[in-house]
Structure 1
Amino acid sequence: MTGRCPAAHPEDPTACVGPVVVTVLDAVNAGADGCEHHGARLLASLAGGRVYALPDAPQGAAIRVFKASAGIRPFCWVDGPRTEPSQFSAIENRARQGR
């Protein structure tokens, strides 16, 4: 693969980690295929997103992306203060709510 996977946001400076193995869909079923790294970062940035393993993906790829996304802040490559729940990771929001 040359370049980066389709799930990599144009402003995200990170390189792909591994091959394209998942499809990430948003709430209206628009989606992109990606490596586990960018799949997790994309999923973390979506409200109501879902992840599915591609047919040739290694065992557990989708669940790894799902679990990783819980600890990633939406649009994590954007600097600046974060004050709204939508700007924190799912794990951070659970901790802030005492769960």
Structure 2
Amino acid sequence: MDHHRCPAAHPEDPTCCVGPVVVTVLDAVNAGADGCEQHGARLLASLDGGRVYALPGAPPGAAIRTFRAAASLRPFCWVDGPRTEPSQLSDIENRARQGR
């Protein structure tokens, strides 16, 4: 496993970075971390009220790709176990449950 990963990678997330650091993910109180699109999406999916912004020089669409990927990920997706509560499901799963 690559131990030199972007700041958005959670210490317990075993995945390596996919690509360069191109986005900043901010939480509800504007604390943030820069990351690759993959770890940015995984972090964003784990936050309540998070936002993502492309860094200067990022390829076009980096923030929207990260946002869309986050919508399909469950919070803390590297943790195994049953997931039944809305806070444990992806945005897409929650919208489907609500019939939207």
Place the TM-score, normalised by the shorter chain, in its bin.
Answer: over 0.9
Please state how far the C-alpha of 1:97 moved relative to its aligned partner.
1.1
- Can you list the C-alpha shifts for 1:31-73, whole angstroms capped at 9, x where unaligned? 0000000000000000000000000100010000001100000
Residue number in structure 2 paired with 1:13: 14
Q: Partners in 1 of 2:97 and 2:14 — Cα distance?
A: 29
Question: Do structure 1's residue 22 and structure 2's residue 27 form an aligned pair?
Answer: no
Residue number in structure 2 paired with 1:53: 54
- Cα RMSD of the aligned pairs, angstroms, is 0.8
Amino acid at match of 2:8: A
Q: Partners in 2 of 1:12 and 1:25 — Cα distance?
A: 19
1:1-99 to 2 correspondences below 5 Å: 3-99=4-100
SS in 2 for 1:27: coil
Q: Percent identity?
A: 86
Please state how far the C-alpha of 1:92 moved relative to its aligned partner.
0.3
Q: Partners in 1 of 2:23 and 2:85 — Cα distance?
A: 29
After the TM superposition, which parts of structure 1 deviate over 3 Å for at least 4 consecutive aligned residues?
none
Q: Partners in 2 of 1:62 and 1:7 — Cα distance?
A: 14
SS in 1 for 2:41: helix
Q: Partners in 1 of 2:99 and 2:52 — Cα distance?
A: 27
TM-score (norm 1): 0.97
Unaligned runs of 5+ in 2: none
The size of the alignment, in residue pairs, is 98
